[in-house]
Structure 1
C-alpha cells in the first residue's frame, strides 16, 4: 500500500489531533470530558456539513436530530433497554426514521424555506421536551442515565474517540463513493443532475437521513457523556451551534468541522469562565472570520500557504489509460426507419401568452434535425416541454412509441433523452473528468454505492475517458471546470450530454458565444454525433445550420411554419420574412460611416501596460489601448484571449496587477466600480443581467440619472420596447432583453459604453435592429464592442483591436482589417461567409 494516501488521509490527522488534545489535557491534570465533547461536536458539525458543503442544503435546525436522539438514548436506557451500546444504535435508527418522515415533507421546499422548516421542527421538539414533564423531565431534563459498559471517564472517552473516527471514516468513504459524488453534482447544479437521470429529491432525502444518523449518534454520545439529557440543545438559542462551528472551521473543507468544534468548545469553556456574556467576545471573532476569511480557519491556513482550494474530497482523478477506447454509442441499434421522438399538437401557454401552438414534429435516428426561428419563437420552451422542465398545456410527446408526456425529467433522461442548455449548465466545482464520470454513472450505476470509491470502478472510468477523448478534452481531464475557456466548456457540456447513453441529443445553441475556430470544431463534432444518435439542434447561426443539417423545422410565434430539407427551408418566403429578415443576398448593406473623424478625436480612455488575471494567473499582459471621444472600437479575438477580462478591468470589477488606467484625465486604476460608472463608463454585460421581476420601464428607471437619455429617447432608439414597456424582463425575448440592457447603459450620463457580445444569440433581423441603434449612437458616445464575428461589427466601427494570447496583436483602422481576410483568418480563425457555409 502506498504511504502517501495514508499520510494525507484526513482521518489520520483527526486521530492525531484527538490524541494530541487528550495528552495535553491529561498532562495538565484536566478532565478529558472537554476533549470528548470536542469529538462529539466534530461529528455533529461533519454531519451537518454533509448537507451544507456536499449537498448545498443549509439546515438551521439540525439540532432536532441531535436533541431528539439524546432523549431517545436516555429514555431507552431508563426504560426497556439496559445496554448502552444497544441504546446508541437504536437511537440512531430512530433519528434516521424521524428524518425520513420530516425530510419527505420539508425537502419539497428549497433555500430559505427549507432552512426555516428545519428550525421550526427543532423548536417544536424543544417545546415538547420542555413541557412534557412526565416523559422528558421538563426543564430539569432526565438525569442518572446509566452507562453500563464504561466504568470510567477515560474508557468512555476512548470509545467516543474511536467511534467518532469510525463515523468520520465512513463519511470520507461516502463522499468519494458514487452516491457522495452525486451529492456534489446536486449541490452545484440540481437541474443538470436531474437532466442526467437522477431523482434529486430522493438523493437529497437519503443525504438528509444520513445526516440525521451521524448527528443522532453524536447526540446519543452526549447523553452518555453527561449521563443525562436536557432540552436546551433543542432550543433556537443552540440550534445554530453546529452550523456555526462548520462555518467557523470551513464549510468547503472536510476538516472544517474539527477546527470549528475545537475553537467553539474551547472558547466557550474559557470565555464563559470569565463572563456570563461570553458571546460579546466570541461574536466579534465570528465577524472577523466572516469578513476576512469566508472559508473559515482551514481557508485562512490555505490563504497563508497560497494554495486555496476546496478540500471536501481528494484532488485527484483516475490514471489515464495507455490506450483510450474509441467512443461507441449504444444508440446505433435504433431502427432508422422509425421516429425516435414524436410530438402531436404540443402546446404551451402562460395565461393568455401562447408560446407553443399545436406543434407536430418527428425526429428520426441518425438525422441532424435543426429547429430555427426568431427570438421569442418558442424554441427553448419547446425543449423544456420535451425534457420535462415544463408541463405542456396540451398535446402528446412520444419517445420510441411510448407516451412520456407526464414523465419527470430524470425518468426521460433514463430512457435516453439528454440535452444541453442555452446557458452553460455543467458542474462548476467538479473537475472535467468528474463532470463526465457523474453523468456516466447515472445510467450505469445510479446514485447507489456507499463505500466503493467511484474512481476505482473501471467500467465507469473507461467510458469517461472515451467520451472525453471523443470531444477533445482528455488532456484537460484534471482541470477544474471553472478554469476552462468558454469553448472548452461547450465541449464539456456536450460530453456530459453524451455520457448518459443518449439516443436523442437535444442541443440548445451549442455554438453561442464561440469564436470561429471553436464553432467549426463544435459543428463538426455535432455532425459526427448525428451519425450515431438522433440530434435535435437549436442554433441561430443560420449559415452553419443550413450547411450541416439534414432537416430543418422553423418555429415562429409558437407555430411550425416550415419543415423540410435545408435548401427548401432557405427558399421559403415565410421563413425569410419571419426569421432571416431579408432574403439571402438581399441583406441590407451597413450604412456608410466616416471613420477618421472619430478616431482623431480627443483621448477619453487610456490604458497602458495593463496586466490582470484570476487567482494568481495572468490573462492580460502589457495591454495598451486608447479610446477617443465618440469613437467606436471593435474588441476582437478568439475565445479565452481576455476580451471580457479587459472589460472587467476597465470597469473596476477586476483589480489591476500592473499598468495604469485613466479616464477623462482621471486616474481610475484603483477606483471602485460604482465610482467608475459615475465618471461615465457603463457596461452592457454578456447575458444582459436585467432585473427579471421588473418591467422594461422599471429596469430603466432604477438606473436613470440626470444627464442620461430619457426613457422616451430610449424608445425612439428601440421602437420595439415602447410596445413592451410594461412587460417584465423575464418575459422578454433575448433580443428585447439586449435592447433594454443597452438602453439601461444610456439612461446614465455615459461617455463610454462597453458592450460585451451584444449580438450573441440574436436572430439576424434583431441583429439589424440593434446594429442600427449602435450606428445612431456613433459620435454621441464612445463604444467598445466585444464580438466574436468580425464581419458583423467591423463595418460599423472606427478602429479594431485584436487580442491574441492576452496581448494586442492588431490595433488599427477597422476598414483595413475588414478588407484583409487573410489577416482575419490568421488572428481570429475567421473564414469568409461562403467558406463558412461550405464548412
Structure 2
C-alpha cells in the first residue's frame, strides 16, 4: 500500500506569525534609521487592504479593479463619524467597517449579476462614481482638500498607533487564514477552480460569492478607516481610477496565489514609491518596467520567484496537509434514503430543447428506476449531452417536464437538483485541479451537510466528513494518492476521482457522461466494474460510446437519434432494432456511387507516399485518445477513416494538421517531418482541413470566404463554381444565410483555394439531405486522383464506394486497414467494428 503524505504547518510558518516577524523587523530597521514610522504603518494598512482583495482574487477567482470603493468610502465614513462627534476613534473603526460591509452587500447585489471582465469593470465604475461625488461635493466631503482635523483620541503618538495597526493587521491575517481553512473558504476555492462543478454539488455559487464580497468589503473597509486615523484626515484620491487598482497591483506583485503575497507586494510597492518619488516625479517610468519584468518572468509574483529559486513551487493559499488516514477505513455504503430496487426515480415527459430553429431534443419520454443501469447511446449529435444538461439543470428545457422522485424539478437550478439527489459527471473532466484529491471529495461530501458556510471552524476538524471522504476515496481506489494535487493525476485516476465526487453528494441518481472516454483498456475495466457496483444501490443513467461494453453491462438502453428517442428496451432488443442499426451503420442512400475501377485503385496504391504517420499517440489534458496509430496516404488517393463516435477520428485529423500536438510518434509529409510544425506551416506545405461544423465567416459572402483562403497555385473561383454549381448562384449570399449543404460546399471549396496536396474532411456529409449528399459526393469523386483525401465519416456505406482504402479506429487504435472493397463487402466485419453488435467477446469481457 502506498503511503499518504501528511504534513503539518509549524507555528513559525503560520502567515500571521510570519507577518508579525516581518513587521517587527521593519519596525526595528526604521527605528535604527531614524525614519518616520508612519511609512511602516502605511505598509501594514495596505497589507490589510491587499489581503482583503486577495480573498476575492486568490480564493474566489473574482478580480476587482475598483475595490477602492470600499477603502475610500470607509475612510470617509470614519471621518464623518469622528467629526460628527458620534464616538471616539475606536468606535469609528467599527462603524466604518460595518458601513463598508453593508456597502458591499448592496453593490454585490448589482455587480454579481456579471462575472469576469464585466464584474471587474463594474467595481471600477462604482469606485469612479464615489470619486466624483467625493471630489465635487465640496460642502460635504471637502472636495479636493478633503476632510481634515480628524484627530485620534486613543493614540496620541505615531508609535502607539503603529503598534495598534500592526496588531490589527496581524489579527486580520490570522482571521483570513482561518476563513481560508473553514468549510466556507474551501467552497470558495472550489468555485474558483470550477464554478459549474461546484454548482453541480449543491452549492449556491452566487450566495457564496456575495458573501466573499461582503468579507472583502469588511476587511478593506477596516483598512480604509485605519488610513483615515493615520493621516488624521481623508482625501478623494484613493477613490480615483489612478489609485483604484493599487491593492490589486500589490497583490499581483507579491503573488496572487499566496497568502502572504499582499504583504510582499505592499512592502515593495510603498518602499519603491517612497524612494523613487524622492528621486523623480516620474517614478512610474522606473516602477512600471519592474512590474513588467515580474509579469513576464514570474506570474506568481515575488513569492513565486523565491519558490522557483528554492526549487519548490506551489500555491500557499492554504497549508499542504490533509487529515491523517484512519487505521481502518470504513467501507463505502450508499446513504441515499429510501432505496427500493425498481422504484421509479426519474421521469421525463415530452422533454424538448431547441436553440432557435435548431432542435436538439424533441418530445423525449424516459423513465429511470432505482437499481437499474440505464444507458443512453446514439450517433454523434444525437442530443445525448443536451439531454443530460436538461436533467441536471445546466440547460432549461424549451418544453416538457422533469419529475425526480415525485417532485417536479423542471425549473429548479442545478444546485437545488443536486441537493435533491441528482449527481452527475461530465463528458469533459470536471474536477477541482488546484485542490488535493482528498479535498476534491471532501468539499463534495461537505455540500450535503449543514454548516458548509461556517467561517471559523477548521474544515479538517469535522471528523464525520473526513471519515466519509476516506470511505469514498477507498471505494474508487484513490486513498493512496489522497494528498496529491489533482492536476498531477493521470487521466484514468481523474475519471475515478470524478465518479468519487459524484458519489460524495449522496446522490440517488448518477448521471455519468462518457466516464470511459480517453481511458486505457485497464482503466476501462476498473471504471466499468465500479459503475456496475454503483447500479446496485443507485439509479444510474450512463452515456457512453464504447457500445460493446454498454451492451454488456447495461440493464436497459435508450437510443437517441437527431434529438428523438428511436428505441428503448433490453440490450439484446436494442442491438437488433433496424432503426438503431440504420442510425449507426446508415441506410442505403439514393444515388450511391459505383466503386472506383480496380485499375484506378491499383494506380493510386502505387503512387508515391504523400503522408505517413508512424506510431502516433495523442490526447487531451493527459488522456490518451490515440495510441500507436499508423496511417499512410499516397498521392491522389482517397482514404476513409471510420469508427464509432469517440474513438479518435477527429483527434487524428487534428494531429495531422497540427492543431493538436502529438505525444509520441512522427508524421512525415512528402519526406519532411511535420509533427512539430505550426498549423499554418503545415497548411502552407499543402495539407488543408475541412472541419466538422464548417466554421465559415458568417458575415462574409461566399465569394469573400473563398477569396480569404485563395493563394497562388490553388483553384480559381471559376473552377470552384464548376465543381459546385450551386455556389455560383449563391456567391453573393452571406455564409450565415446558407443551408448546411451549401456551407459544406463552401468549406470544401475553401480548402481547394490553396494549393492543397491533401485534404482532410471531417464528417462532410453530416446533417445533409440525400440530394445534397449526392452533390457533395459527386464533387469528391471528381477530385479523386487530383488531390489526396482522408474522409472521416460514421456512415460507412456512404464513403466506402468512393474511396480506395479504409482505416477503422477502435478505442484509439487501428483495428482494420486495407482495400475499401473488402470492408464494403464484408457486412459482418462492418457490424463488428462499426455497428451495434453484442459479440461473444464483449459479453465475456463485461461478465469478467
Query: Does 2:426 match 1:421?
Result: yes
How far does residue 310 in structure 1 lie from its aligned partner after superposition? 2.3
1:229-288: CA deviation from partner (whole Å, max 9, x where unpaired): 001111111111111111222222222212221121111112212222222222222222
2-structure distance, mates of 1:201, 1:431: 24
How far does residue 182 in structure 1 lie from its aligned partner after superposition? 0.9
Query: Does 2:495 match 1:508?
Result: no
C-alpha contact 1:690 1:699 (8 A) present in aligned 2: no
Q: Which residue of 2 aligns with 1:87?
A: 92
Alignment of 1:331-410 (within 5 A): 331=336, 333-410=338-415
How far does residue 478 in structure 1 lie from its aligned partner after superposition? 2.6
The SS at the match of 2:344 is coil
1:472-505: CA deviation from partner (whole Å, max 9, x where unpaired): 2223323332233333222222221111100001
2-structure distance, mates of 1:624, 1:338: 49
How far does residue 336 in structure 1 lie from its aligned partner after superposition? 2.7
Q: Which residue of 2 aligns with 1:234?
A: 239
Q: Which residue of 2 aligns with 1:201?
A: 206
1:434-453: CA deviation from partner (whole Å, max 9, x where unpaired): 22111111112453121222
Query: Does 2:26 match 1:34?
Result: no
The SS at the match of 2:360 is strand
How far does residue 667 in structure 1 lie from its aligned partner after superposition? 8.1
2-structure distance, mates of 1:137, 1:230: 8
1-structure distance, mates of 2:742, 2:323: 46
1-structure distance, mates of 2:699, 2:323: 48
1-structure distance, mates of 2:397, 2:367: 17
1-structure distance, mates of 2:369, 2:815: 49
Query: Does 2:845 match 1:835?
Result: no
1:602-646: CA deviation from partner (whole Å, max 9, x where unpaired): 68789999999999xxxx9x999999878989999xx999x9899
The SS at the match of 1:390 is coil
Shift of the 158–410 alpha-carbon distance from structure 1 to 2, 3 Å rule, reads: same
Q: Which residue of 2 aligns with 1:432?
A: 437
C-alpha contact 1:441 1:460 (8 A) present in aligned 2: yes
Shift of the 145–287 alpha-carbon distance from structure 1 to 2, 3 Å rule, reads: same
Shift of the 608–377 alpha-carbon distance from structure 1 to 2, 3 Å rule, reads: closer
Shift of the 248–738 alpha-carbon distance from structure 1 to 2, 3 Å rule, reads: farther
2-structure distance, mates of 1:289, 1:17: 22
Query: Does 2:27 match 1:58?
Result: no
C-alpha contact 2:629 2:814 (8 A) present in aligned 1: no
2-structure distance, mates of 1:575, 1:669: 39
Q: Which residue of 2 aligns with 1:532?
A: 537
Higher mean Cα deviation, 122-131 or 442-451? 442-451
2-structure distance, mates of 1:481, 1:714: 53
Shift of the 538–609 alpha-carbon distance from structure 1 to 2, 3 Å rule, reads: closer
Higher mean Cα deviation, 325-334 or 416-425? 325-334
1-structure distance, mates of 2:34, 2:389: 67
2-structure distance, mates of 1:737, 1:544: 36
Match of 2:49 among 41, 44, 52: 44
The SS at the match of 2:492 is helix
C-alpha contact 1:599 1:798 (8 A) present in aligned 2: no
Match of 2:491 among 486, 491, 515: 486
Shift of the 85–45 alpha-carbon distance from structure 1 to 2, 3 Å rule, reads: same
Match of 2:144 among 126, 135, 139: 139
1-structure distance, mates of 2:587, 2:671: 45
Q: Which residue of 1 aligns with 2:796?
A: none
Q: Which residue of 1 aligns with 2:473?
A: 468
- How many residue pairs match? The answer is 806
The SS at the match of 1:333 is coil
2-structure distance, mates of 1:273, 1:112: 36
1:393-421: CA deviation from partner (whole Å, max 9, x where unpaired): 22221111111122111111000001112
Shift of the 796–280 alpha-carbon distance from structure 1 to 2, 3 Å rule, reads: farther
The SS at the match of 1:444 is coil
The SS at the match of 1:331 is coil
1-structure distance, mates of 2:524, 2:29: 63
Higher mean Cα deviation, 626-635 or 139-148? 626-635
C-alpha contact 2:618 2:651 (8 A) present in aligned 1: no
How far does residue 325 in structure 1 lie from its aligned partner after superposition? 1.8
1:94-138: CA deviation from partner (whole Å, max 9, x where unpaired): 100110011011101111211111111111111111122222111
Higher mean Cα deviation, 667-676 or 526-535? 667-676
Shift of the 662–347 alpha-carbon distance from structure 1 to 2, 3 Å rule, reads: closer
The SS at the match of 1:330 is coil
Q: Which residue of 2 aligns with 1:314?
A: 319
1:685-720: CA deviation from partner (whole Å, max 9, x where unpaired): 9x9996998899799769835256899979989x9x
C-alpha contact 1:374 1:556 (8 A) present in aligned 2: yes
C-alpha contact 2:74 2:100 (8 A) present in aligned 1: yes
Gaps of 5+ in 2: 1-6, 794-798, 824-836
Q: Which residue of 2 aligns with 1:544?
A: 549
The SS at the match of 2:366 is strand
Query: Does 2:282 match 1:273?
Result: no
2-structure distance, mates of 1:473, 1:739: 50
How far does residue 814 in structure 1 lie from its aligned partner after superposition? 8.2
2-structure distance, mates of 1:671, 1:462: 50
2-structure distance, mates of 1:383, 1:609: 36
Query: Does 2:185 match 1:180?
Result: yes
C-alpha contact 2:254 2:260 (8 A) present in aligned 1: yes
2-structure distance, mates of 1:574, 1:612: 34
2-structure distance, mates of 1:695, 1:544: 46
1-structure distance, mates of 2:630, 2:562: 46
The SS at the match of 1:346 is strand
Q: TM-score if structure 2 supplies the norm length?
A: 0.80
Shift of the 747–288 alpha-carbon distance from structure 1 to 2, 3 Å rule, reads: farther
The SS at the match of 1:347 is strand
2-structure distance, mates of 1:595, 1:264: 72
Query: Does 2:709 match 1:704?
Result: yes
C-alpha contact 2:720 2:749 (8 A) present in aligned 1: no
C-alpha contact 1:198 1:446 (8 A) present in aligned 2: no
Shift of the 298–694 alpha-carbon distance from structure 1 to 2, 3 Å rule, reads: farther
Shift of the 74–534 alpha-carbon distance from structure 1 to 2, 3 Å rule, reads: same
How far does residue 303 in structure 1 lie from its aligned partner after superposition? 2.8
How far does residue 312 in structure 1 lie from its aligned partner after superposition? 1.9
C-alpha contact 1:652 1:671 (8 A) present in aligned 2: no
2-structure distance, mates of 1:749, 1:742: 13
2-structure distance, mates of 1:60, 1:384: 34
1-structure distance, mates of 2:647, 2:354: 39
Q: Which residue of 1 aligns with 2:449?
A: 444
C-alpha contact 2:15 2:173 (8 A) present in aligned 1: no
Q: Which residue of 2 aligns with 1:826?
A: none
Higher mean Cα deviation, 398-407 or 777-786? 777-786
Q: TM-score if structure 1 supplies the norm length?
A: 0.81
C-alpha contact 2:97 2:218 (8 A) present in aligned 1: yes
Shift of the 570–113 alpha-carbon distance from structure 1 to 2, 3 Å rule, reads: same
Alignment of 1:811-830 (within 5 A): none
Q: Who wins on radius of gyration, i.e. which is larger?
A: 2
The SS at the match of 1:488 is helix
1:570-623: CA deviation from partner (whole Å, max 9, x where unpaired): 22223332344269xxxx9x99999999999868789999999999xxxx9x99
Higher mean Cα deviation, 190-199 or 473-482? 473-482
2-structure distance, mates of 1:470, 1:479: 17
Match of 1:9 among 7, 14, 22: 14
1-structure distance, mates of 2:175, 2:311: 30
Q: Which residue of 2 aligns with 1:152?
A: 157
